[in-house]
Chains A and B, each alone.
Chain A
Amino acid sequence: MLRLSSLFALQDAAPAVVPADTAWMLVATALVLLMTPALAFFYGGLVRSKNLLNTMMMSFVALGIVGVVWALLAYSLAFGEGNAWIGGTANALLNGVGLEAKGTLPHVLFMAYQGTFAIITAALISGALVERMRFGPYLAFIVCWTLLVYAPVAHWVWGGGWLMSRGVLDFAGGTVVHINAGVSALVAAVVLGQRKDYSRQAILPHNVPFTLLGAGLLWFGWFGFNGGSALAANELAALAFTNTFFAPMATLVVWVLLDYLRTGRATAVGGATGIVVGLVAITPAAGFVRPLSALVIGAIAALPSYFAIVLRSRTRLDDSLDVFAGHGVGGLTGALLTGVFAEKAWNAAGNDGLLAGNAAQLGLQALGAASAILYAALMTYAILKLLSAVTALRAAPRTEGVGMDVSQHGEEAYASGEGSILVIPDSGPAGAPAPALTPQAAAR
Protein backbone atom coordinates (compact mmCIF):
# COMPACT_ATOMS: atom_id res chain seq x y z
CA MET A 1 0.00 0.00 0.00
CA LEU A 2 3.07 2.17 0.15
CA ARG A 3 2.80 2.32 -3.63
CA LEU A 4 -0.13 4.59 -3.10
CA SER A 5 2.15 7.62 -3.05
CA SER A 6 3.65 6.69 -6.38
CA LEU A 7 0.19 5.97 -7.69
CA PHE A 8 -0.92 9.43 -6.73
CA ALA A 9 1.97 10.80 -8.75
CA LEU A 10 0.78 8.76 -11.70
CA GLN A 11 -2.71 10.05 -11.22
CA ASP A 12 -1.80 13.52 -12.49
CA ALA A 13 -0.57 12.09 -15.76
CA ALA A 14 -3.34 9.56 -16.25
CA PRO A 15 -6.23 9.94 -13.82
CA ALA A 16 -7.95 6.93 -15.23
CA VAL A 17 -9.53 3.81 -13.80
CA VAL A 18 -7.76 0.70 -15.10
CA PRO A 19 -10.28 -2.13 -15.72
CA ALA A 20 -7.80 -4.95 -15.00
CA ASP A 21 -6.87 -3.43 -11.64
CA THR A 22 -10.53 -2.88 -10.84
CA ALA A 23 -11.38 -6.49 -11.67
CA TRP A 24 -8.73 -7.89 -9.35
CA MET A 25 -9.57 -5.49 -6.53
CA LEU A 26 -13.27 -6.38 -6.73
CA VAL A 27 -12.28 -9.99 -6.08
CA ALA A 28 -9.69 -9.03 -3.45
CA THR A 29 -12.28 -7.01 -1.51
CA ALA A 30 -14.61 -10.01 -1.37
CA LEU A 31 -11.70 -12.24 -0.32
CA VAL A 32 -10.75 -10.01 2.61
CA LEU A 33 -14.38 -9.73 3.69
CA LEU A 34 -14.50 -13.54 3.85
CA MET A 35 -11.66 -13.49 6.38
CA THR A 36 -13.95 -12.22 9.13
CA PRO A 37 -16.36 -15.19 8.95
CA ALA A 38 -13.23 -17.37 8.67
CA LEU A 39 -11.93 -15.82 11.87
CA ALA A 40 -15.28 -16.54 13.51
CA PHE A 41 -14.77 -20.25 12.77
CA PHE A 42 -11.11 -20.16 13.81
CA TYR A 43 -12.00 -18.60 17.17
CA GLY A 44 -15.29 -20.49 17.52
CA GLY A 45 -13.60 -23.87 17.44
CA LEU A 46 -11.29 -22.86 20.27
CA VAL A 47 -13.95 -21.96 22.83
CA ARG A 48 -16.36 -24.13 24.82
CA SER A 49 -19.64 -25.00 23.10
CA LYS A 50 -21.67 -22.88 25.54
CA ASN A 51 -19.86 -19.78 24.21
CA LEU A 52 -19.65 -20.63 20.52
CA LEU A 53 -22.36 -18.33 19.17
CA ASN A 54 -21.13 -15.41 21.27
CA THR A 55 -17.58 -15.90 20.04
CA MET A 56 -18.64 -16.14 16.40
CA MET A 57 -21.00 -13.17 16.74
CA MET A 58 -18.15 -11.03 18.06
CA SER A 59 -16.54 -11.45 14.64
CA PHE A 60 -19.73 -11.37 12.57
CA VAL A 61 -21.08 -8.25 14.24
CA ALA A 62 -17.92 -6.38 13.22
CA LEU A 63 -19.02 -6.90 9.61
CA GLY A 64 -21.99 -4.74 10.46
CA ILE A 65 -21.01 -2.18 13.01
CA VAL A 66 -17.41 -1.50 11.96
CA GLY A 67 -18.50 -1.37 8.33
CA VAL A 68 -21.12 1.28 9.14
CA VAL A 69 -18.67 3.30 11.24
CA TRP A 70 -16.20 3.05 8.37
CA ALA A 71 -18.66 4.64 5.96
CA LEU A 72 -19.85 7.30 8.40
CA LEU A 73 -16.50 8.59 9.64
CA ALA A 74 -13.59 6.18 10.02
CA TYR A 75 -12.67 6.07 6.32
CA SER A 76 -12.29 9.82 6.28
CA LEU A 77 -10.18 9.81 9.46
CA ALA A 78 -7.90 7.16 7.99
CA PHE A 79 -7.60 8.15 4.33
CA GLY A 80 -9.07 11.62 3.99
CA GLU A 81 -6.90 14.71 3.55
CA GLY A 82 -5.52 15.68 6.91
CA ASN A 83 -2.34 16.27 8.87
CA ALA A 84 0.46 13.89 9.81
CA TRP A 85 -1.59 12.43 12.68
CA ILE A 86 -5.12 11.99 11.41
CA GLY A 87 -7.20 12.46 8.28
CA GLY A 88 -9.87 15.13 8.09
CA THR A 89 -13.63 14.87 7.94
CA ALA A 90 -13.88 15.80 4.26
CA ASN A 91 -14.89 12.25 3.28
CA ALA A 92 -17.23 11.70 6.24
CA LEU A 93 -20.57 10.13 5.23
CA LEU A 94 -18.73 9.07 2.05
CA ASN A 95 -18.71 12.64 0.78
CA GLY A 96 -16.57 12.86 -2.30
CA VAL A 97 -16.17 9.13 -2.55
CA GLY A 98 -17.43 8.50 -6.05
CA LEU A 99 -16.51 6.70 -9.22
CA GLU A 100 -13.50 8.93 -9.92
CA ALA A 101 -10.07 7.30 -9.98
CA LYS A 102 -8.18 6.86 -6.72
CA GLY A 103 -4.90 5.51 -8.02
CA THR A 104 -6.16 3.27 -10.79
CA LEU A 105 -9.29 2.18 -8.93
CA PRO A 106 -12.71 3.70 -8.61
CA HIS A 107 -12.66 5.59 -5.29
CA VAL A 108 -15.66 3.66 -3.95
CA LEU A 109 -13.81 0.37 -4.44
CA PHE A 110 -10.68 1.66 -2.71
CA MET A 111 -12.85 2.76 0.23
CA ALA A 112 -14.65 -0.62 0.41
CA TYR A 113 -11.38 -2.55 0.19
CA GLN A 114 -9.89 -0.59 3.08
CA GLY A 115 -13.13 -1.08 5.03
CA THR A 116 -12.64 -4.85 5.05
CA PHE A 117 -9.32 -4.31 6.86
CA ALA A 118 -10.91 -2.19 9.57
CA ILE A 119 -13.56 -4.88 10.10
CA ILE A 120 -11.19 -7.80 10.58
CA THR A 121 -8.81 -5.81 12.76
CA ALA A 122 -11.55 -5.05 15.27
CA ALA A 123 -12.74 -8.68 15.13
CA LEU A 124 -9.23 -9.97 15.86
CA ILE A 125 -9.26 -8.34 19.31
CA SER A 126 -12.33 -10.35 20.33
CA GLY A 127 -10.16 -13.45 20.80
CA ALA A 128 -8.85 -11.97 24.04
CA LEU A 129 -12.33 -11.09 25.35
CA VAL A 130 -14.32 -14.22 24.64
CA GLU A 131 -16.28 -16.24 27.19
CA ARG A 132 -16.72 -13.32 29.59
CA MET A 133 -17.29 -9.89 28.00
CA ARG A 134 -20.87 -8.67 27.68
CA PHE A 135 -22.00 -8.16 24.11
CA GLY A 136 -23.27 -4.57 24.45
CA PRO A 137 -20.06 -3.14 25.90
CA TYR A 138 -18.14 -5.10 23.24
CA LEU A 139 -20.09 -3.28 20.52
CA ALA A 140 -19.32 0.07 22.12
CA PHE A 141 -15.69 -0.91 22.44
CA ILE A 142 -15.13 -1.81 18.79
CA VAL A 143 -16.88 1.36 17.62
CA CYS A 144 -14.61 3.54 19.81
CA TRP A 145 -11.56 1.45 18.93
CA THR A 146 -12.10 1.72 15.18
CA LEU A 147 -12.46 5.49 15.37
CA LEU A 148 -9.77 6.23 17.96
CA VAL A 149 -7.14 3.55 17.29
CA TYR A 150 -7.54 1.91 13.90
CA ALA A 151 -8.26 5.03 11.85
CA PRO A 152 -5.32 7.11 13.18
CA VAL A 153 -2.79 4.28 12.92
CA ALA A 154 -3.96 3.44 9.38
CA HIS A 155 -3.53 7.12 8.57
CA TRP A 156 0.01 7.20 9.98
CA VAL A 157 1.15 4.26 7.88
CA TRP A 158 -1.03 4.30 4.74
CA GLY A 159 -3.03 7.52 4.61
CA GLY A 160 -0.07 9.91 4.23
CA GLY A 161 0.72 10.26 7.94
CA TRP A 162 4.05 10.63 9.69
CA LEU A 163 5.20 6.99 9.56
CA MET A 164 4.46 6.85 5.84
CA SER A 165 6.51 9.96 5.13
CA ARG A 166 9.43 8.59 7.16
CA GLY A 167 9.49 5.48 5.00
CA VAL A 168 8.21 2.78 7.36
CA LEU A 169 7.37 -0.27 5.24
CA ASP A 170 4.09 -2.03 5.96
CA PHE A 171 2.79 -3.67 2.83
CA ALA A 172 -0.54 -5.06 3.98
CA GLY A 173 -0.87 -4.25 7.66
CA GLY A 174 1.66 -5.96 9.90
CA THR A 175 1.69 -2.84 12.04
CA VAL A 176 -1.72 -1.34 11.31
CA VAL A 177 -3.67 -4.57 11.62
CA HIS A 178 -1.71 -7.16 13.56
CA ILE A 179 0.51 -5.32 16.04
CA ASN A 180 -2.36 -2.91 16.60
CA ALA A 181 -4.93 -5.64 17.29
CA GLY A 182 -2.48 -7.88 19.17
CA VAL A 183 -1.41 -5.22 21.64
CA SER A 184 -4.98 -4.00 22.12
CA ALA A 185 -6.01 -7.59 22.82
CA LEU A 186 -3.28 -7.94 25.45
CA VAL A 187 -4.36 -4.75 27.22
CA ALA A 188 -8.04 -5.72 26.99
CA ALA A 189 -7.31 -9.13 28.52
CA VAL A 190 -5.56 -7.42 31.44
CA VAL A 191 -8.34 -4.86 31.99
CA LEU A 192 -11.08 -7.48 31.73
CA GLY A 193 -9.35 -10.07 33.92
CA GLN A 194 -9.40 -13.83 33.77
CA ARG A 195 -12.34 -16.01 32.97
CA LYS A 196 -13.68 -17.43 36.23
CA ASP A 197 -12.57 -20.96 35.31
CA TYR A 198 -9.14 -19.92 34.03
CA SER A 199 -6.34 -21.96 35.61
CA ARG A 200 -8.93 -23.61 37.89
CA GLN A 201 -10.11 -26.17 35.38
CA ALA A 202 -9.21 -27.29 31.89
CA ILE A 203 -10.80 -25.08 29.24
CA LEU A 204 -10.60 -27.07 26.03
CA PRO A 205 -11.42 -26.26 22.39
CA HIS A 206 -14.84 -27.74 21.66
CA ASN A 207 -14.46 -28.18 17.88
CA VAL A 208 -10.95 -28.35 16.45
CA PRO A 209 -12.25 -29.00 12.89
CA PHE A 210 -13.85 -25.51 13.00
CA THR A 211 -10.45 -24.07 13.85
CA LEU A 212 -8.80 -25.87 10.93
CA LEU A 213 -11.61 -24.77 8.62
CA GLY A 214 -11.14 -21.19 9.80
CA ALA A 215 -7.38 -21.30 9.29
CA GLY A 216 -7.85 -22.62 5.75
CA LEU A 217 -10.40 -19.94 4.86
CA LEU A 218 -8.21 -17.25 6.42
CA TRP A 219 -5.35 -18.32 4.17
CA PHE A 220 -7.64 -18.19 1.12
CA GLY A 221 -8.87 -14.71 2.06
CA TRP A 222 -5.35 -13.54 2.84
CA PHE A 223 -4.47 -13.71 -0.88
CA GLY A 224 -6.84 -10.75 -1.22
CA PHE A 225 -5.42 -9.11 1.90
CA ASN A 226 -1.79 -9.21 0.73
CA GLY A 227 -2.18 -9.62 -3.03
CA GLY A 228 -4.78 -6.86 -3.06
CA SER A 229 -2.56 -4.47 -1.14
CA ALA A 230 -0.69 -3.86 -4.40
CA LEU A 231 -3.94 -2.04 -5.31
CA ALA A 232 -3.44 -3.22 -8.87
CA ALA A 233 -3.31 -6.37 -11.01
CA ASN A 234 0.42 -6.24 -11.64
CA GLU A 235 3.80 -7.87 -10.89
CA LEU A 236 3.72 -6.56 -7.33
CA ALA A 237 0.39 -8.27 -6.68
CA ALA A 238 1.86 -11.50 -8.05
CA LEU A 239 4.86 -11.16 -5.72
CA ALA A 240 2.70 -10.50 -2.65
CA PHE A 241 0.43 -13.38 -3.66
CA THR A 242 3.34 -15.82 -4.01
CA ASN A 243 4.87 -14.74 -0.70
CA THR A 244 1.48 -15.28 0.96
CA PHE A 245 1.54 -18.73 -0.61
CA PHE A 246 4.97 -19.69 0.78
CA ALA A 247 5.41 -18.05 4.19
CA PRO A 248 2.65 -19.97 6.04
CA MET A 249 3.96 -23.21 4.52
CA ALA A 250 7.32 -22.66 6.18
CA THR A 251 5.67 -21.64 9.46
CA LEU A 252 3.47 -24.73 9.40
CA VAL A 253 6.50 -26.98 8.89
CA VAL A 254 8.49 -25.37 11.71
CA TRP A 255 5.47 -25.34 14.03
CA VAL A 256 4.89 -29.06 13.49
CA LEU A 257 8.58 -29.76 14.10
CA LEU A 258 8.51 -27.73 17.32
CA ASP A 259 5.46 -29.70 18.43
CA TYR A 260 7.31 -32.95 17.69
CA LEU A 261 10.42 -31.86 19.55
CA ARG A 262 8.57 -30.57 22.57
CA THR A 263 5.76 -33.11 23.05
CA GLY A 264 6.37 -35.84 20.48
CA ARG A 265 3.04 -35.14 18.78
CA ALA A 266 2.02 -32.76 16.00
CA THR A 267 -1.19 -31.06 17.12
CA ALA A 268 -3.98 -29.87 14.84
CA VAL A 269 -4.63 -26.72 16.86
CA GLY A 270 -0.88 -26.03 16.57
CA GLY A 271 -0.99 -26.51 12.82
CA ALA A 272 -3.90 -24.11 12.44
CA THR A 273 -2.15 -21.56 14.66
CA GLY A 274 1.09 -21.94 12.69
CA ILE A 275 -0.67 -21.11 9.43
CA VAL A 276 -2.16 -17.94 10.88
CA VAL A 277 1.16 -16.85 12.43
CA GLY A 278 2.90 -17.33 9.06
CA LEU A 279 0.23 -15.24 7.35
CA VAL A 280 0.57 -12.52 9.97
CA ALA A 281 4.37 -12.42 9.68
CA ILE A 282 4.46 -12.13 5.89
CA THR A 283 1.79 -9.41 5.82
CA PRO A 284 4.11 -6.37 6.23
CA ALA A 285 6.78 -7.92 3.97
CA ALA A 286 4.62 -9.45 1.23
CA GLY A 287 5.37 -6.88 -1.48
CA PHE A 288 8.95 -6.07 -0.49
CA VAL A 289 10.79 -9.41 -0.31
CA ARG A 290 11.65 -12.24 -2.70
CA PRO A 291 9.76 -15.56 -2.31
CA LEU A 292 12.78 -17.32 -0.82
CA SER A 293 12.91 -14.64 1.89
CA ALA A 294 9.19 -15.25 2.49
CA LEU A 295 10.01 -18.87 3.31
CA VAL A 296 12.72 -17.73 5.73
CA ILE A 297 10.45 -15.13 7.35
CA GLY A 298 7.72 -17.73 7.73
CA ALA A 299 10.11 -20.22 9.29
CA ILE A 300 11.62 -17.72 11.75
CA ALA A 301 8.21 -16.34 12.74
CA ALA A 302 7.14 -19.70 14.16
CA LEU A 303 9.66 -19.50 17.00
CA PRO A 304 8.71 -16.35 18.96
CA SER A 305 4.96 -16.97 18.63
CA TYR A 306 5.25 -20.64 19.56
CA PHE A 307 7.13 -19.93 22.75
CA ALA A 308 5.01 -16.87 23.55
CA ILE A 309 1.98 -19.19 23.58
CA VAL A 310 3.77 -21.79 25.72
CA LEU A 311 4.86 -19.15 28.24
CA ARG A 312 1.56 -17.25 28.26
CA SER A 313 -0.44 -20.33 29.16
CA ARG A 314 1.67 -20.69 32.32
CA THR A 315 0.92 -17.17 33.51
CA ARG A 316 -2.11 -15.53 35.09
CA LEU A 317 -2.72 -13.61 31.85
CA ASP A 318 -5.91 -14.85 30.20
CA ASP A 319 -5.44 -13.72 26.59
CA SER A 320 -7.96 -16.46 25.90
CA LEU A 321 -7.19 -17.29 22.26
CA ASP A 322 -3.60 -15.95 22.24
CA VAL A 323 -4.26 -12.94 20.05
CA PHE A 324 -1.13 -11.25 21.37
CA ALA A 325 1.16 -14.25 20.84
CA GLY A 326 -0.27 -14.83 17.36
CA HIS A 327 -0.88 -11.36 16.00
CA GLY A 328 1.12 -9.07 18.28
CA VAL A 329 4.30 -11.14 18.39
CA GLY A 330 3.83 -12.46 14.83
CA GLY A 331 3.20 -8.94 13.53
CA LEU A 332 6.24 -7.57 15.36
CA THR A 333 8.44 -10.36 13.97
CA GLY A 334 7.16 -9.64 10.47
CA ALA A 335 7.57 -5.86 10.79
CA LEU A 336 11.18 -6.21 11.94
CA LEU A 337 12.07 -8.92 9.41
CA THR A 338 10.69 -6.67 6.64
CA GLY A 339 13.50 -4.30 7.60
CA VAL A 340 15.94 -7.20 7.26
CA PHE A 341 14.86 -8.85 4.01
CA ALA A 342 13.35 -6.00 1.93
CA GLU A 343 14.94 -5.49 -1.49
CA LYS A 344 14.55 -2.56 -3.83
CA ALA A 345 15.33 -4.88 -6.72
CA TRP A 346 11.97 -6.58 -6.15
CA ASN A 347 9.95 -3.44 -5.42
CA ALA A 348 11.30 -0.07 -6.47
CA ALA A 349 8.70 1.73 -4.35
CA GLY A 350 10.02 -0.10 -1.28
CA ASN A 351 13.52 0.07 0.14
CA ASP A 352 16.53 -2.09 0.89
CA GLY A 353 16.70 -3.79 4.26
CA LEU A 354 19.54 -4.84 6.56
CA LEU A 355 20.76 -7.70 4.34
CA ALA A 356 20.87 -5.40 1.32
CA GLY A 357 23.05 -3.00 3.31
CA ASN A 358 20.45 -0.58 4.68
CA ALA A 359 20.43 -1.06 8.44
CA ALA A 360 18.48 2.17 8.91
CA GLN A 361 15.35 0.45 7.55
CA LEU A 362 15.36 -1.93 10.50
CA GLY A 363 15.41 1.06 12.84
CA LEU A 364 12.48 2.61 10.96
CA GLN A 365 10.53 -0.64 11.23
CA ALA A 366 11.17 -0.70 14.98
CA LEU A 367 9.99 2.90 15.21
CA GLY A 368 6.77 2.06 13.37
CA ALA A 369 6.11 -0.96 15.57
CA ALA A 370 6.94 0.87 18.81
CA SER A 371 4.62 3.78 17.98
CA ALA A 372 1.75 1.44 17.24
CA ILE A 373 2.39 -0.59 20.40
CA LEU A 374 2.47 2.48 22.63
CA TYR A 375 -0.53 4.18 21.06
CA ALA A 376 -2.72 1.08 20.85
CA ALA A 377 -1.94 0.11 24.45
CA LEU A 378 -2.70 3.54 25.90
CA MET A 379 -5.86 4.12 23.90
CA THR A 380 -7.30 0.66 24.45
CA TYR A 381 -6.72 1.04 28.18
CA ALA A 382 -8.39 4.47 28.18
CA ILE A 383 -11.40 3.31 26.12
CA LEU A 384 -12.05 0.27 28.30
CA LYS A 385 -11.61 2.20 31.56
CA LEU A 386 -14.07 4.85 30.38
CA LEU A 387 -16.58 2.21 29.28
CA SER A 388 -16.23 0.36 32.58
CA ALA A 389 -17.09 3.59 34.40
CA VAL A 390 -20.43 3.60 32.58
CA THR A 391 -21.30 -0.09 32.52
CA ALA A 392 -20.04 -3.51 33.58
CA LEU A 393 -17.75 -4.96 30.93
CA ARG A 394 -18.05 -8.51 32.21
CA ALA A 395 -20.90 -10.91 32.69
CA ALA A 396 -21.59 -11.96 36.29
CA PRO A 397 -19.74 -15.15 37.31
CA ARG A 398 -23.02 -17.07 37.44
CA THR A 399 -23.89 -15.97 33.88
CA GLU A 400 -20.39 -16.83 32.74
CA GLY A 401 -20.90 -20.32 34.15
CA VAL A 402 -24.17 -20.85 32.31
CA GLY A 403 -22.56 -19.62 29.09
CA MET A 404 -22.60 -16.50 26.96
CA ASP A 405 -24.77 -17.97 24.19
CA VAL A 406 -27.88 -18.33 26.32
CA SER A 407 -27.23 -15.21 28.40
CA GLN A 408 -26.21 -12.76 25.66
CA HIS A 409 -28.06 -14.10 22.63
CA GLY A 410 -30.90 -16.33 23.88
CA GLU A 411 -29.77 -19.12 21.59
CA GLU A 412 -27.68 -22.26 21.78
CA ALA A 413 -25.21 -23.42 19.16
CA TYR A 414 -26.29 -27.03 19.52
CA ALA A 415 -29.91 -26.89 20.66
CA SER A 416 -31.52 -30.32 20.83
CA GLY A 417 -35.04 -28.99 20.97
CA GLU A 418 -35.88 -31.62 23.58
CA GLY A 419 -38.17 -30.27 26.23
CA SER A 420 -38.80 -27.00 24.39
CA ILE A 421 -42.30 -25.63 24.09
CA LEU A 422 -43.34 -23.43 21.21
CA VAL A 423 -44.63 -20.04 22.28
CA ILE A 424 -47.41 -18.85 19.97
CA PRO A 425 -47.85 -15.08 19.99
CA ASP A 426 -51.12 -13.83 21.56
CA SER A 427 -52.29 -17.28 22.66
CA GLY A 428 -49.45 -17.79 25.10
CA PRO A 429 -47.52 -21.01 25.53
CA ALA A 430 -49.15 -24.08 24.07
CA GLY A 431 -48.69 -27.67 25.09
CA ALA A 432 -48.26 -28.89 21.53
CA PRO A 433 -46.56 -27.40 18.48
CA ALA A 434 -48.73 -25.10 16.38
CA PRO A 435 -50.63 -27.14 13.76
CA ALA A 436 -49.27 -25.09 10.87
CA LEU A 437 -45.76 -26.22 11.71
CA THR A 438 -46.42 -29.95 11.70
CA PRO A 439 -45.79 -31.97 8.52
CA GLN A 440 -49.38 -33.19 8.46
CA ALA A 441 -50.69 -29.65 8.34
CA ALA A 442 -48.35 -28.78 5.51
CA ALA A 443 -49.58 -31.78 3.52
CA ARG A 444 -53.23 -30.80 3.88
Chain B
Amino acid sequence: MKLIVAIIRPDRLNEVLEALYRAEVRGLTVTRVLGHGGETDRVETYRGTTVKMELQEKVRLEIGVSEPFVGVTVSALLASARTGEVGDGKVFVLDVEQVHRIRTGERDESAVTPAIPSRI
Protein backbone atom coordinates (compact mmCIF):
# COMPACT_ATOMS: atom_id res chain seq x y z
CA MET B 1 0.00 0.00 0.00
CA LYS B 2 1.00 3.58 -0.61
CA LEU B 3 0.14 7.05 0.60
CA ILE B 4 -0.53 9.37 -2.32
CA VAL B 5 -0.13 13.06 -1.55
CA ALA B 6 -1.24 15.52 -4.20
CA ILE B 7 -0.95 19.30 -4.18
CA ILE B 8 -3.39 20.80 -6.67
CA ARG B 9 -5.08 24.07 -7.61
CA PRO B 10 -8.21 24.84 -5.55
CA ASP B 11 -10.22 25.53 -8.69
CA ARG B 12 -9.45 22.00 -9.96
CA LEU B 13 -10.63 20.33 -6.76
CA ASN B 14 -14.10 19.49 -8.00
CA GLU B 15 -12.78 17.97 -11.23
CA VAL B 16 -10.25 15.95 -9.25
CA LEU B 17 -12.83 14.64 -6.80
CA GLU B 18 -15.08 13.71 -9.70
CA ALA B 19 -12.25 11.86 -11.46
CA LEU B 20 -11.31 9.99 -8.26
CA TYR B 21 -14.93 9.04 -7.73
CA ARG B 22 -15.14 7.68 -11.26
CA ALA B 23 -11.92 5.73 -10.67
CA GLU B 24 -13.63 4.23 -7.60
CA VAL B 25 -11.06 5.66 -5.25
CA ARG B 26 -12.76 6.10 -1.89
CA GLY B 27 -11.43 7.60 1.30
CA LEU B 28 -9.31 10.73 1.20
CA THR B 29 -8.39 13.77 3.25
CA VAL B 30 -8.47 17.32 1.86
CA THR B 31 -6.58 20.25 3.39
CA ARG B 32 -6.38 23.85 2.23
CA VAL B 33 -2.74 24.88 2.20
CA LEU B 34 -0.55 27.75 1.02
CA GLY B 35 2.33 27.09 -1.29
CA HIS B 36 4.35 28.15 -4.28
CA GLY B 37 4.92 26.15 -7.40
CA GLY B 38 7.09 28.53 -9.39
CA GLU B 39 4.19 30.25 -11.13
CA THR B 40 4.19 33.96 -11.98
CA ASP B 41 3.47 36.04 -8.91
CA ARG B 42 -0.02 37.49 -8.75
CA VAL B 43 0.03 41.24 -8.19
CA GLU B 44 -2.73 42.91 -6.18
CA THR B 45 -3.18 46.57 -5.34
CA TYR B 46 -4.96 48.02 -2.34
CA ARG B 47 -5.19 51.82 -2.43
CA GLY B 48 -1.69 52.32 -3.74
CA THR B 49 -0.16 49.45 -1.81
CA THR B 50 0.99 46.95 -4.39
CA VAL B 51 1.77 43.47 -3.21
CA LYS B 52 3.03 40.33 -4.87
CA MET B 53 1.18 37.31 -3.63
CA GLU B 54 4.11 34.94 -3.19
CA LEU B 55 2.09 32.11 -1.67
CA GLN B 56 -0.85 30.73 -3.59
CA GLU B 57 -3.78 28.84 -2.20
CA LYS B 58 -3.46 25.15 -2.94
CA VAL B 59 -5.29 22.03 -1.91
CA ARG B 60 -3.51 19.00 -0.49
CA LEU B 61 -5.07 15.58 -0.93
CA GLU B 62 -3.95 12.53 1.05
CA ILE B 63 -5.13 9.17 -0.18
CA GLY B 64 -4.15 5.80 1.27
CA VAL B 65 -4.48 3.12 -1.42
CA SER B 66 -3.76 -0.57 -1.93
CA GLU B 67 -1.22 -1.55 -4.60
CA PRO B 68 -3.68 -2.18 -7.47
CA PHE B 69 -5.10 1.30 -7.01
CA VAL B 70 -1.82 3.23 -7.16
CA GLY B 71 -1.70 3.56 -10.92
CA VAL B 72 -5.39 4.30 -11.27
CA THR B 73 -5.27 7.03 -8.63
CA VAL B 74 -2.17 8.68 -10.04
CA SER B 75 -3.51 8.77 -13.57
CA ALA B 76 -6.86 10.13 -12.39
CA LEU B 77 -5.02 12.91 -10.54
CA LEU B 78 -2.75 13.72 -13.47
CA ALA B 79 -5.61 13.90 -15.91
CA SER B 80 -8.01 15.93 -13.81
CA ALA B 81 -5.71 18.42 -12.06
CA ARG B 82 -3.86 19.50 -15.19
CA THR B 83 -4.39 22.92 -16.82
CA GLY B 84 -1.04 23.01 -18.61
CA GLU B 85 0.17 26.15 -16.89
CA VAL B 86 2.92 26.47 -14.28
CA GLY B 87 1.50 25.85 -10.82
CA ASP B 88 -0.64 22.80 -11.48
CA GLY B 89 0.93 20.99 -8.54
CA LYS B 90 2.61 17.68 -7.71
CA VAL B 91 1.72 14.11 -6.93
CA PHE B 92 3.89 12.24 -4.43
CA VAL B 93 3.66 8.49 -3.90
CA LEU B 94 5.06 7.37 -0.54
CA ASP B 95 5.67 3.98 0.99
CA VAL B 96 3.61 3.29 4.06
CA GLU B 97 4.84 1.15 6.92
CA GLN B 98 1.53 0.33 8.55
CA VAL B 99 -2.14 1.24 8.21
CA HIS B 100 -4.77 0.62 10.87
CA ARG B 101 -8.50 1.10 10.46
CA ILE B 102 -9.65 2.54 13.77
CA ARG B 103 -13.19 1.19 13.69
CA THR B 104 -12.34 -2.49 13.14
CA GLY B 105 -8.67 -2.73 13.94
CA GLU B 106 -8.01 -4.13 10.43
CA ARG B 107 -4.43 -3.75 9.23
CA ASP B 108 -2.63 -2.74 6.06
CA GLU B 109 -4.21 -3.84 2.72
CA SER B 110 -7.62 -4.56 4.23
CA ALA B 111 -7.55 -1.25 6.10
CA VAL B 112 -7.29 0.71 2.83
CA THR B 113 -9.91 -1.37 1.03
CA PRO B 114 -13.27 0.41 0.93
CA ALA B 115 -15.58 -0.76 3.71
CA ILE B 116 -18.64 -0.83 1.48
CA PRO B 117 -17.93 -2.37 -1.93
CA SER B 118 -18.83 -0.12 -4.83
CA ARG B 119 -22.02 -1.08 -6.60
CA ILE B 120 -21.34 0.53 -9.94
Residue numbers of A with Cβ under 8 A of B are: 197, 200-201, 398, 401-403, 406, 410-412, 415, 417-423, 425, 429
Contact = CB atoms under 8 A, between A and B. Distances in A.
Contacts of A417: 51
Nearest to A429: B52
Contact of A419 (B34, B46, B83, B85): B34
B14 interface: yes
Interface of B: 11-12, 14, 34, 36, 41-46, 49-56, 83, 85
B43 A402 contact: no
Contact of A410 (B36, B41, B45, B83): B45
Given A200-B14, A422-B49, A412 B44 contact: yes
A412 to B, nearest CB: 7
A173 B49 CA distance: 43
A427 to B, nearest CB: 12
Given A197-B14, A200-B14, A418-B34, A423 B43 contact: yes
Most buried by B among A200, A201, A411, A419: A419
Most buried by A among B34, B49, B56: B49
Contacts of B34: 418-419
Per DSSP, are chain A's interface residues mostly helix, strand or loop, or mixed? loop
Contacts of B56: 419
B13 to A, nearest CB: 9
A420 B45 contact: no
A421 B53 CA distance: 6
Contacts of A419: 34, 36, 53-56
Given A415-B46, A419-B56, A421-B54, 7 more contacts: A200-B14, A398-B85, A406-B44, A419-B34, A419-B36, A421-B51, A422-B50
Contacts, number: 48
Which 4 pairs, one residue from A and one from B, show the smallest C-beta to C-beta distance? A419-B55, A401-B11, A420-B51, A423-B50
A411 B34 CA distance: 17
A402 B13 CA distance: 12
A442 B36 CA distance: 32
B53 A420 contact: yes
A421 B14 contact: no
Contacts of B46: 411, 415
B21 to A, nearest CB: 12
B51 A422 contact: yes
A423 B14 contact: no
Contact of B52 (A197, A201, A423): A423
A429 B52 CA distance: 8
A411 B50 CA distance: 10
A423 B48 CA distance: 10
A398 B14 CA distance: 14
A411 B49 CA distance: 11
Given A406-B44, A415-B44, A419-B34, A201 B49 contact: no
A410 B36 CA distance: 19
A419 B33 CA distance: 12
A438 to B, nearest CB: 14
Contacts of A425: 50
B108 to A, nearest CB: 34
Most buried by B among A197, A410, A420, A422: A420
B45 A411 contact: yes
A419 B41 CA distance: 11
A419 B46 CA distance: 16
B11 A201 contact: no
A423 B83 CA distance: 29
Contact of A406 (B14, B36, B42, B50): B42
A245 B118 CA distance: 56
A96 B56 CA distance: 55
B54 A420 contact: yes
Contacts of A422: 49-51
Contacts of B36: 419
Contacts of A411: 44-46
